[in-house]
């Protein structure tokens, strides 16, 4: 009889429970950490990952009656030490349990799979027998990077993907510009994390692809991870990678995939069959045994931060992962986040001895690289002109200023396209009764329901509640209820009327389309709509920030921000950074082809034409804007000069939510009296008073938060860890039974 061994297994136990550490199970045989298996938990059996024993040594199963492992998925190689280290770090840093983090990092379809089903899936993925290598004429005259890739792929050890594809099927990379060459050169000469500050249309994607080709050439198992904010917004990007590397080498990972597709993408990455993984934030947790390079495109994009469950930043984890695995990380953006801009600051000799600013003088952790010039910008006509339109001097209530209307008409008459950006969907953000003042508030949220004319509904954008538009005021019966303010739906209607006299080159009326979350709800509609724009079937495209992101529109020569001012006065300290990035990205959609008769233009309709943000936009000088913002942030003691976390509480009443936060602070202060090691942490971390969130109530849940701030990331981390058990205890107190949940949001994006 064999003596059973004890396995430590990470299972998806909730963070906020007593079971939040990995559990012990008995097994007839020892299995290495990283092995996937199924184990019993309560009445069910669940997916788990063999974890490293706490303290290194296996506990003795001896006396304890451990439950036995159900089945071990030994057909799959174990998850490697880098992957486990990433998961363990993410759990620690974002204050979650290892089990929760590990299981959230695996494709959901895996949870319901058994060994047999897994075997069938794997059989489907099994590589076809590689065909003998073919040498085509093309291969012998290929560029360096292509040859490098060919070597990697042609190697007999290359795990089964399109090694049998002739190279001729692949696209030949263009000759690089000088700036692209310099960036690739800098990348190849030193390790570390790089911030590529590349103008829109400067050819960053080409740099990513060539850097990927170089990394893949290192060996036959090398893999590259490419993170993008929203893959479904840029189907073109995936197509570009597939053209370059072959469809078999690339897998996509994002939440719009069917569970089965997501699982096979994950398996192909884990087995090394996929050489390039292109995915959204979740892909940062992909198992990549051959990881050789990480690219984070549009690294400033807020969608890299997960907003529920474990609130991780995929960008920040990508940097950690690359550092831990010893591979390069390439962050790219035309408008980097201020965090990354600061982290990549060059050393400033002037400030070295000044001593007033703690970090001044020292260079940042990242290497900053620049590509200021757009591809084809040697033609003078390609330079972008930014025009501010003072709406104080336009006809009252004008939707579009008359000169802007003219400009759109002129462009359309030449077959060029215009984009109109309005970051608010629906017809009107609120309906109101002119008699009694009734407004379309949501009964479940502290927010208005938005009027959507298309299906005549009132919809809450927070909880999703939708109901038909009333024919008369529900309070006083007045039939005259009106919309206040304007969304994309209304803008489309108004622009349609305003442009009705204008003509396309063929004499027909202009075609005006709208692209936002409402028009793209159905699967496939986004791609279809983008295809229409690319094909030139649309003259004027109206949309939310969706139209500003990453699209390589070739016929757009004019972009206009219709009413961007609101963000200038938002209370969120990141609002200017976001607005500037949005406008720069939007501007970057104009003039991507140098062959226009007239200079491409970005119009900004504003009542604040002298605002410094628009002045900076006028010169398209991101660096000046960023440095100005950083000075303000440093003076005001805001990130990246301090580190923040939120303690959030949700409850049935606001009183209960704030009551919990107050009690938790009290418990922490009490504990500090008894535990002297806590006192310095409380000195190093500032705890703000508990306050309601800006949108205080959502779906009948009252929300409150407490901001923690420190100049020391470590002190902040240690305080949260020390606080965890006290929070569990406070939660368990009957006095707080109205509490629904509490959580930490580390490095929050909105406070």
Ligand X SMILES: Nc1ncnc2c1ncn2[C@@H]1O[C@H](COP(=O)(O)OP(=O)(O)OP(=O)(O)O)[C@@H](O)[C@H]1O
Site string for ligand X, 46-75 (x = CB under 6 A): ------------------------------
DSSP state of 483: E
Contacting ligand X within 316-345 (CB under 6 A): 334
- What part of residues 89-128 is at the interface with ligand X (CB under 6 A)? none
Out of 543, 550, 639, 640, name the contact with ligand X by CB under 6 A. Answer: 550
Restricted to residues 410-469, the positions that interact with Zn ion (CB under 5 A) are 442, 444-445, 460, 462-463, 465
Residues constituting the chain: 751
Residue 439 vs 444, nearer CB to Zn ion: 444
Q: How far is the CB of 178 from ligand X (least distance, A)?
A: 10
Tell me the number of residues near Zn ion by CB under 5 A: 7
Nearer to Zn ion, 465 or 662 (CB): 465
Given 26, 66, 122, 176, the residue binding ligand X (CB under 6 A): 176
Nearest-approach distance from CB 197 to ligand X, in angstroms = 11
Candidate ranges 173-181, 211-219, 345-353, 421-429; the one touching ligand X (CB under 6 A): 173-181
Residue whose CB is less far from Zn ion, 92 or 462: 462
Q: Is 693 in the site for Zn ion (CB under 5 A)?
A: no
Q: Around Cβ 146, how many Cβ atoms within 10 Å?
A: 21
* Cis ω for the linkage preceding 693 (within 30 of 0): no
198 binds, among Zn ion, ligand X, none (CB under 5 to 8 A by kind): ligand X
238 near ligand X, judged by CB under 6 A:
no
CB closer to Zn ion, 421 vs 460: 460
- CB nearer to ligand X: give 48 or 229: 229
From the CB of 698, what's the least distance to Zn ion, in Å?
7
Q: Is 576 in the site for ligand X (CB under 6 A)?
A: no
- Residues contacting 372, CB < 8 A, separation 6+: 179, 198, 199, 202
180 or 606: whose CB is closer to ligand X?
180
Exposure on the CB side of residue 451, measured as CA atoms within 13 A: 20
Which residues in the 578-617 window bind ligand X by CB under 6 A? 588
By CB under 6 A, residue 552 contacts ligand X: yes
DSSP state of 382: G
Is 665:687 a contact under the CB 8 Å cutoff? yes
In angstroms, give the least distance from the CB of 203 to ligand X.
Answer: 3
Among 34, 201, 272, 483, binds ligand X (CB under 6 A): 201
How many other CB atoms are found less than 10 A from the CB of residue 191? 13
Using a 10 angstrom Cβ sphere, with 0-12 exposed, 13-18 middle and 19 or more buried, the burial of residue 161 is buried
Q: φ, ψ for residue 368 (rounded to 5)? A: -95, 130
Distance of closest approach, residue 464 Cβ to ligand X, in angstroms: 32
Pick the closest to residue 553 from 355, 682, 653, 421 (CA basis): 421
Candidates 430, 464, 458, 425; CA nearest to 445 is: 464
460 binds, among ligand X, Zn ion, none (CB under 5 to 8 A by kind): Zn ion
* Angle between helical axes of 713-732 and 654-674 (0-180°, round to 10): 110
Q: How far is the CB of 440 from Zn ion (least distance, A)?
A: 11
Check binding of 174 to ligand X (CB under 6 A): yes
Say how many residues touch ligand X, by CB under 6 A: 18
Residue number with CB closer to ligand X (183 or 343): 183
C-beta closer to ligand X: residue 176 or 575: 176
Q: Point out which residues pair with 489 in neighbouring strands.
A: none
Q: Considering beta carbons, is residue 175 or 380 the nearer one to ligand X? A: 175
Q: Which stretch binds ligand X (CB under 6 A): 140-148, 176-184, 319-327, 354-362?
A: 176-184
The item of Zn ion, ligand X, none sharing an interface with residue 107, based on CB under 5 to 8 Å by kind, is none
Q: Is 6 annotated as a binding residue?
A: no
Nearer to ligand X, 202 or 273 (CB): 202
Query: Measured in whole angstroms, how far is the alpha carbon of residue 428 from the centre of its chain?
Result: 28
CA 723: distance to chain centroid? 29
Any residues with CB less than 8 A from the CB of 63 and at least 6 apart, and which? none
Query: DSSP assignment of 89-121, as one string?
Result: HHHHHTT--HHHHHHHTS-GGGGG--HHHHHHH
Q: What CA–CA distance (Å, rounded) separates 687 from 691?
A: 12
The residue range among 123-131, 193-201, 266-274, 693-701 that interacts with ligand X, by the rule CB under 6 A, is: 193-201
CB-based contacts of 318, cutoff 8 Å, min separation 6: 225, 227, 284, 294, 296, 329, 331
Secondary element (H or E) of residue 682: helix 679-684
Buried b (16+ CB within 10 A) or exposed e, 93-107: bbbbbbbbbbbbbbb
C-beta separation of 332 from 340 below 8 A: no
**Closer Cβ to ligand X, 38 or 589, answer by number:** 589
Answer positive or negative: Cα dihedral of 744, 745, 747, 748.
negative
Among 103, 339, 327, 90, smallest CA distance to 225 is for 327
Per-residue tokens: 336: 């980097």
Is residue 198 within the footprint of ligand X (CB under 6 A)?
Answer: yes
Neighbours of 262 (CB within 10 A): 22
The item of ligand X, Zn ion, none sharing an interface with residue 445, based on CB under 5 to 8 Å by kind, is Zn ion
Token pair, residue 308, equals 């529920």
Question: How many other CB atoms are there within 10 angstroms of residue 120's CB atom?
Answer: 9
From the list ligand X, Zn ion, none, pick the one residue 462 interacts with, judged by a Cβ distance below 5 to 8 Å according to partner type: Zn ion
Binding mask 203-222 for ligand X (x = CB under 6 A): xxxx----------------
By CB under 6 A, which span of 196-204, 299-307, 633-641, 643-651 interacts with ligand X?
196-204
Whole-angstrom CA distances from 497 to 175, 307, 509, 680 are 46, 40, 11, 66
Q: Which helix (H) or strand (E) is 664 found in, with range?
A: helix 654-674
Q: List the one residue from 6, 49, 86, 375 that touches ligand X (CB under 6 A).
A: 375
Smallest gap from Cβ 159 to Zn ion, in A, equals 49
Binding status of residue 481 toward Zn ion by CB under 5 A: no
Residue numbering of the annotated binding site for Zn(2+)? 433, 436, 442, 445, 460, 463, 473, 476
Residue numbering of the annotated binding site? 433, 436, 442, 445, 460, 463, 473, 476
Interface residues with Zn ion (CB under 5 A) are: 442, 444-445, 460, 462-463, 465
Interface residues with ligand X (CB under 6 A) are: 174-177, 180, 198, 200-206, 334, 375, 550, 552, 588
């Amino acid at each position: 009889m064999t003596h059973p061994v004890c396995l430590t297994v990470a299972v998806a136990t909730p963070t906020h429970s007593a079971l939040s550490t990995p559990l012990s199970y008995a097994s007839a045989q020892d299995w290495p950490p990283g092995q996937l298996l199924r184990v019993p938990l309560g009445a069910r059996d669940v997916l788990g990952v063999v974890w490293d024993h706490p303290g290194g040594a296996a506990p003795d199963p001896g006396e304890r009656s451990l439950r036995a492992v159900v089945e071990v998925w030994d057909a799959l190689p174990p998850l490697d030490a880098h992957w486990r280290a990433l998961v363990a770090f993410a759990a620690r840093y974002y204050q979650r349990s290892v089990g929760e983090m590990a299981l959230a990092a695996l494709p959901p379809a895996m949870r319901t799979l058994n060994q047999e089903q897994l075997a069938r899936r794997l059989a489907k993925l099994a590589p076809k027998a590689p065909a003998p290598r073919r040498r085509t004429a093309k291969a012998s005259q290929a560029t360096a990077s292509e040859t490098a890739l060919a070597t990697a792929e042609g190697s007999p050890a290359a795990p089964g993907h399109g090694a049998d594809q002739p190279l001729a099927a692949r696209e030949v990379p263009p000759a690089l510009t000088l700036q692209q060459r310099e960036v690739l050169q800098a990348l190849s000469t030193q390790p570390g994390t790089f911030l590529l500050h590349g103008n829109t249309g400067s050819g960053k994607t080409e740099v990513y692809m060539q850097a990927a080709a170089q990394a893949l050439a290192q060996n036959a198992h090398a893999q590259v991870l490419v993170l993008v904010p929203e893959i479904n917004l840029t189907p073109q990007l995936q197509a570009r990678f597939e053209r370059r590397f072959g469809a078999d080498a690339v897998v996509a990972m994002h939440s719009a995939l069917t569970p089965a597709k997501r699982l096979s993408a994950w398996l192909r990455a884990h087995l090394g069959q996929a050489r390039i993984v292109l995915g959204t934030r979740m892909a940062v947790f992909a198992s990549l045994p051959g990881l050789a390079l990480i690219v984070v495109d549009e690294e400033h994009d807020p969608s890299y931060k997960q907003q529920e469950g474990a609130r991780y930043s995929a960008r920040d984890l990508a940097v950690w992962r690359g550092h831990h695995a010893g591979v390069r990380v390439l962050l790219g953006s035309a408008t980097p986040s201020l965090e990354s801009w600061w982290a990549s600051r060059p050393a400033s000799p002037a400030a070295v001895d000044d001593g007033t600013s703690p970090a001044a003088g020292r260079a940042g952790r990242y290497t900053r690289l620049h590509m200021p010039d757009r591809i084809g910008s040697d033609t003078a006509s390609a330079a972008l002109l930014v025009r501010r339109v003072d709406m104080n001097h336009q006809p009252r209530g004008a939707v579009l200023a008359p000169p802007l209307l003219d400009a759109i008409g002129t462009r359309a008459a030449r077959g060029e396209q215009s984009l109109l950006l309005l970051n608010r969907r629906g017809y009107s953000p609120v309906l109101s009764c002119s008699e009694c003042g009734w407004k379309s508030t949501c009964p479940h949220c502290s927010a208005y329901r938005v009027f959507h004319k298309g299906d005549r509904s009132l919809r809450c954008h927070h909880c999703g509640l939708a109901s038909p538009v009333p024919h008369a005021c529900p309070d006083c019966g007045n039939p005259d209820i009106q919309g206040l303010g304007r969304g994309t739906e209304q803008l489309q209607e108004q622009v349609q009327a305003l442009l009705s006299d204008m003509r396309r080159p063929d004499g027909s009326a202009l075609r005006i389309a709208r692209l936002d979350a409402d028009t793209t709800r159905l699967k496939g509609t986004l791609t279809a709509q983008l295809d229409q724009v690319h094909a030139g079937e649309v003259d004027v495209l109206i949309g939310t920030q969706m139209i500003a992101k990453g699209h390589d529109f070739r016929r757009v020569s004019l972009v206009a921000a219709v009413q961007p001012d609101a963000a200038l006065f938002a209370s969120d300290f990141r609002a200017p950074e976001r607005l500037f990035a949005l406008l720069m990205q939007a501007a970057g959609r104009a003039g991507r082809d140098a062959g226009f008769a007239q200079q491409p233009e970005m119009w900004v309709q504003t009542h604040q034409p002298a605002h410094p943000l628009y002045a900076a936009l006028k010169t398209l000088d991101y660096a000046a804007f960023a440095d100005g913002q950083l000075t303000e942030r440093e003076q005001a003691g805001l990130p990246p000069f301090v580190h923040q976390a939120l303690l959030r509480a949700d409850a049935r009443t606001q009183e209960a939510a704030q009551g919990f936060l107050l009690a938790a602070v009290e418990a922490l202060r009490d504990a500090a009296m008894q535990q002297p090691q806590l006192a310095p942490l409380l000195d190093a971390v500032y705890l703000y008073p508990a306050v309601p969130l800006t949108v205080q109530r959502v779906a009948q849940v009252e929300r409150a938060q407490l901001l923690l701030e420190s100049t020391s990331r470590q002190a902040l981390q240690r305080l949260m860890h020390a606080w965890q058990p006290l929070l569990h205890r406070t939660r368990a107190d009957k006095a707080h039974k109205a509490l629904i949940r509490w959580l930490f949001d580390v490095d929050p994006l909105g406070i």
